[in-house]
Chains A and B, each alone.
Chain A
């Protein structure tokens, strides 16, 4: 009887989720397996042949790959912590119920999220043009003496990419922290207040530990996002000057569609990104779960 019910349930269930199972298999899992095979091959797209690990070995002596990998890594270790820290500070402040206009601040800070990645990239490119408003304002307040070459200086171009991503995504991460803060019982703070804990101590001893799942979640999603960075660099700097701002995703794109197509090598690099995502996510999960 029970067996019968389970079988019936199974049959009904497949009617509901088989379209998704088929689509995700065809659009994600099968292409992944296909990509894995392609990464061991070389030659023109119509006539590829097996070359073993050659593509993977070639990366170590490929200057563009090494630059793209180190740029991507740089964006990751500089931009993600800055953004998450900012988002956390902002949401803790916005959670202060003495503050007025909280809704207004929240809406304003969230607003960058409604722009498309291409649109905001083009706006940033315009704002940070050599004669643009950013340089003008910075010179007006005497922070700089001469215009910064945001788009053509290898160092400042990287800074611009980091500023841009931070502008776009801080508000997005803020809403996760805000929803996490709402779940913290205010009585915990009241008790800490009575015990004479300073606000900083409350922040480090109560807020941060309580927000750990949110920090973990935002860190993992930001890591995955940053490792796939493409739209911004392609539209703000085109990866330049030289390859100073290029990323792995952009290099994969260029290898496949801009230069003579080299699908084998490009998919090999994409597997490096896959491995990086898996490894970094596992490290973060481990680091985040170690207290438990």
Chain B
């Protein structure tokens, strides 16, 4: 009796999870089919592969939306942002552990408050701030520059928290031993802490890269000229046109998803660790 009941429960679990899994994966199948189809077939809900793959790609790379340039812009912004954010935030996360005092704990708790601030509330003051830099000697940080996209996300409470959690597990005896050897505090950080925390850096890099690569609202606000646009802005423009070329759009979507898909499939453990970051 008892056994039969749990047997049915197991079948129910398989059915339920299979349905959820199919729903989760279906849009991926749909976009891959879409890459090979004509616009008409895609909106008509065709699920069969077509023969338009080459033509769709040709349209994507030859139209005037500047997809290739956007790929370069997005990659450049994401790489610089990741390097800066990892360095600055890990420096702080490590510092808050190794040199913790009552005061530094209070400073850290204050920084955590910034996680509660919605971006919508920062968008306007930041926009005005960066606009004010235009036509000044600091123009390179002004509106419509990559710097203005990157700077607000270089130091984030989330990353500092993430590195602080990791640094807590870092053996302080290593730091003390290095001090005895006469190593400078900064060199201890770069030569001992950093190499021993590769997994943490990988997880943080994945999450930062992905956030930057996929960022939409802030670039939409600050990047005003077409040649500066990032991938999400170009894709959004494709979708918003009156007669979207769906085949071309699906090619663009697949290309834009590839970097994160590759990171996910090759570094799954660090990928998930980066997302879990804040609760561990």
Contact residues of A with B, CB < 8 Å?
6, 9-10, 12-13, 15-17, 19-21, 23-24, 27-32, 34-35, 38, 45, 86, 89-90, 93-94, 96, 98-99, 104-105, 107-127, 129, 131-137, 167, 170-172, 175-176, 179, 199, 213-214, 217, 224, 227-228, 230-231, 234-235, 238, 248-249, 252-253, 256-257, 263, 266-267, 270-271, 273-274, 277-278, 281
Contacts and interface: CB of A to CB of B under 8 A. Distances in A.
A276 B227 CA distance: 38
A253 B186 CA distance: 43
B216 A16 contact: no
Contact of B124 (A99, A266, A278): A266
Contacts of A107: 268
B246 interface: yes
Interface in B18-66: 18, 20-21, 23-25, 27-28, 30-31, 34, 42-47
A16 B99 contact: yes
Contact of A116 (B104, B107, B185, B256): B256
A1 B278 CA distance: 37
Contact of B272 (A9, A38, A175, A277): A175
Interface string B144-155: 000000011011
A29 B114 contact: yes
Looking at A16, A45, A94, which has the most chain B CB atoms within 10 Å of its CB?
A16
Given A123-B27, A230-B217, 11 more contacts: A12-B95, A13-B99, A34-B128, A113-B275, A116-B257, A119-B257, A126-B246, A175-B275, A214-B279, A231-B217, A270-B124
A107 B257 CA distance: 16
Given A15-B185, A31-B126, A116-B214, A171 B279 contact: no
B177 interface: no
A15 B186 CA distance: 9
B79 interface: no
Contacts of A13: 95-96, 98-101, 104
B110 to A, nearest CB: 8
A261 to B, nearest CB: 9
Given A9-B99, A16-B92, A16-B99, A123 B31 contact: yes
A179 B116 contact: no
Given A13-B99, A17-B95, A252-B120, A109 B20 contact: yes
Looking at B9, B96, B124, B185, which has the most chain A CB atoms within 10 Å of its CB?
B124
A239 B18 CA distance: 33
A105 B128 contact: no
B131 to A, nearest CB: 9
Interface in B115-161: 116-129, 151-152, 154-157, 160
B257 A114 contact: yes
B123 A252 contact: yes
A61 to B, nearest CB: 22
Nearest to B114: A28
A234 B237 CA distance: 11
B279 A217 contact: yes
A131 B39 CA distance: 12
B189 A19 contact: no
Contacts of A20: 88-89, 91-92, 111, 155, 160
B221 to A, nearest CB: 6
Contacts of A124: 27
B275 A17 contact: no
A49 to B, nearest CB: 16
Contact of B21 (A10, A24, A108, A281): A108
Given A118-B214, A270-B124, A131 B43 contact: yes
Contact of B276 (A112, A115, A176): A176
Contacts of A23: 88, 151, 154-155
8 shortest A-B CB distances, which residue pairs?
A: A16-B95, A13-B99, A133-B45, A116-B214, A31-B125, A20-B92, A23-B155, A270-B121
Contact of A267 (B44, B101, B125): B125
Contact of B121 (A135, A257, A267, A281): A267
B236 A118 contact: yes
Contacts of B71: none
Given A9-B101, A13-B104, A111-B28, A235 B239 contact: yes
Given A23-B155, A124-B27, A125-B239, A31 B122 contact: yes
B27 A19 contact: no
21 contacts: A16-B99, A20-B92, A20-B155, A21-B107, A28-B114, A32-B121, A34-B125, A45-B128, A111-B28, A113-B275, A114-B261, A114-B264, A119-B232, A131-B43, A175-B272, A176-B279, A179-B276, A230-B216, A253-B220, A270-B124, A274-B118
A179 B96 CA distance: 26
B126 A24 contact: no
A266 B16 CA distance: 44
